[in-house]
Amino acid sequence: MPAMATQATIRQRFEAEFPNARKIFAQAQEVFPQGVTHDLRYLEPFPIYIDRAEGAYKWDVDGHRFIDFWSGHGSILLGHSHPEVVGAVQKQVARGTHLGACHELEIEWGRWVQKLMPSAEKVRFVSSGTEATLMALRLSRLFTGRSKVLKFAGHFHGWHDYLVPAADPPYEGASIPGLPAEVAGFTVVVPPNDADAVDRALASDPDIGCVILEPTGGHFGAVPIRGPFLHALRDLTRKHGRLLIFDEVISGFRVHPGGAQGLYGITPDLTTLAKILAGGLPGGCLAGRADILASLEFRPGKPKMKHPGTFNANPLSAAAGCATLRLVATGEPVRHASEMGKLLRQRLNRLFEEKGCDWVAYGEFSGWKLLPGYRGPRPTGDDFVPYSGALDKLDGPKNPALTHAFRQAMLLNGVDLAGLGGMTTAAHVESDIDRAIAAFSNALDLLREEALA
CB of 284 to ligand PLP, least distance (A): 6
Binding residue count for ligand PLP, defined by CB under 6 A? 14
Strand 421-423 versus strand 270-273 pairing type? unpaired
CA–CA separation, 383 vs 408, rounded Å?
30
- Reading across the β-sheet that carries 367-371, which strands appear in turn? 360-362, 367-371, 421-423
Q: Is 449 exposed, middle or buried (0-12, 13-18, 19+ CB in 10 A)?
A: middle
If the CB atoms of residues 73 and 231 are measured against ligand PLP, the closer one turns out to be 73
CA distance 82 to 427: 9
Q: With CB under 6 A as the contact rule, which of the stretches 24-32, 44-52, 128-136, 352-360 interacts with ligand PLP? A: 128-136
Region for residue 105 given its phi and psi (left: phi exceeds 0; alpha: psi -120 to 50; beta: otherwise): alpha
Q: Please state, in angstroms and rounded to a whole number, the distance separating the CA atoms of residues 158 and 168.
A: 12
State the virtual CA torsion across 411, 417, 419, 425 in degrees, nearest 10: -170
Footprint on residues 166-195 left by ligand PLP (CB under 6 A): none
State which of residues 230, 233, 249, 357 lies at the interface with ligand PLP (CB under 6 A). 249
Segment interacting with ligand PLP (CB under 6 A) among 20-28, 87-95, 124-132, 351-359: 124-132
> Which of 47, 79, 110, 158 forms a contact with ligand PLP (CB under 6 A)?
158
Binding marks (x or -) toward ligand PLP, 27..66, rule CB under 6 A? Answer: ----------------------------------------
The reply to whether 216 sits near ligand PLP by the rule CB under 6 A is no
Nearer to ligand PLP, 274 or 446 (CB): 274
What would the x/- binding string for ligand PLP be over residues 296 to 335, using CB under 6 A?
----------------------------------------
Using the rule CB under 6 A, give the single segment among 156-164, 257-265, 315-323, 371-379 that binds ligand PLP: 156-164
366 binds ligand PLP (CB under 6 A): no
In the set 68, 247, 269, 395, which binds ligand PLP (CB under 6 A)? 247
Minimum distance from residue 248 beta carbon to ligand PLP (Å): 7
Comparing CB distances to ligand PLP, the nearer of 338 and 413 is: 338
Contact 255, 336 (CB under 8 A): no
Which of the stretches 58-66, 123-131, 185-193, 388-396 binds ligand PLP when contact is defined by CB under 6 A?
123-131
- The residues, ordered by sequence, that sit 6+ positions from 445 with a Cβ below 8 Å of its Cβ are none
Long-range contacts (CB closer than 8 Å, 24 or more residues apart) made by 191-195:
191/152, 191/153, 191/391, 192/152, 192/153, 192/154, 192/155, 192/217, 192/218, 192/223, 192/225, 192/229, 192/389, 192/391, 193/223, 193/225, 193/229, 193/389, 195/229, 195/232, 195/233, 195/236
DSSP designation for 74: G
Give least dist CB 91 to ligand PLP, A.
25
Neighbours of 92 (CB within 10 A): 22
Q: Choose the stretch contacting ligand PLP; rule: CB under 6 A; options: 153-161, 173-181, 321-329, 398-406.
A: 153-161
> Closest residue to ligand PLP, Cβ-based?
129
User: Distance between alpha carbon 152 and the CA centroid of its chain, in Å?
Assistant: 16
What is the spatial distance between Cα 171 and Cα 156, in angstroms, rounded to a whole number? 12
Distance CA 256, CA 180 (A): 38
Binding flag, residue 129, ligand PLP (CB under 6 A): yes
Burial of residue 195 (CB within 10 Å: 0-12, 13-18, 19+) is: middle
The only residue of 68, 214, 416, 432 in contact with ligand PLP, by rule CB under 6 A: 214
Report in angstroms how near the CB of residue 271 gets to ligand PLP at its nearest. Answer: 11
Q: Is 264 in the site for ligand PLP (CB under 6 A)?
A: no
The binding site for ligand PLP (CB under 6 A) comprises 73, 128-130, 133, 156-158, 214, 247, 249-250, 274, 284
